[in-house]
Amino acid sequence: MEFKNNEAIYLQIAAYVSDHILLGKWPPDDKIPSVRELAVELQVNPNTVMRTYEYLQNQEVIYNKRGIGFFVAPDAVKKVKKHRRERFLQQDLPEFFRNIFLLEIPLEELQERYEHFKTENFTSK
């Protein structure tokens, strides 16, 4: 896995795990790869993956069954979306606002483009 330079690796791995959960590859109450398995797959230090799992556990996205492993929380999708939403509103949106303000892009144009984007990308085939 290629890692970006501007975000801690354990957070990038957390995003990777969250993506798998959002995409339904790892459904609720399913066991996820062990720390070792994921570390081998991503070629990273197991301590880093442990930190990822502790972080996701704190966010209640996964839970730990002692001696068995880590499992996807029943409402993990909801939790992941909530965290992502908060992060988007706090970090990405101000940047986006700043750009549309500087470039004087009217909201109507955005609305139009957004509708177009939705039909292009997210209508069922």
Structure tokens at 12: 């990038």
Rounded to a whole number of angstroms, the minimum distance from the CB of residue 5 to other proteins is 4
Nearer CB in complex with other proteins: 40/100: 40
Rounded to a whole number of angstroms, the minimum distance from the CB of residue 20 to other proteins is 19
15 CB-contact burial (10 Å; exposed 0-12 / middle 13-18 / buried 19+): middle
Nearer CB in complex with other proteins: 46/69: 46
Structure tokens at 96: 């986006």
Q: Can you tell me the distance from the alpha carbon of 74 to that of 60, in angstroms, rounded to the nearest whole number?
A: 10
Residues at the contact surface with other proteins, assessed by CB under 8 A? 3, 5-9, 36, 39-48
Rounded to a whole number of angstroms, the minimum distance from the CB of residue 101 to other proteins is 24
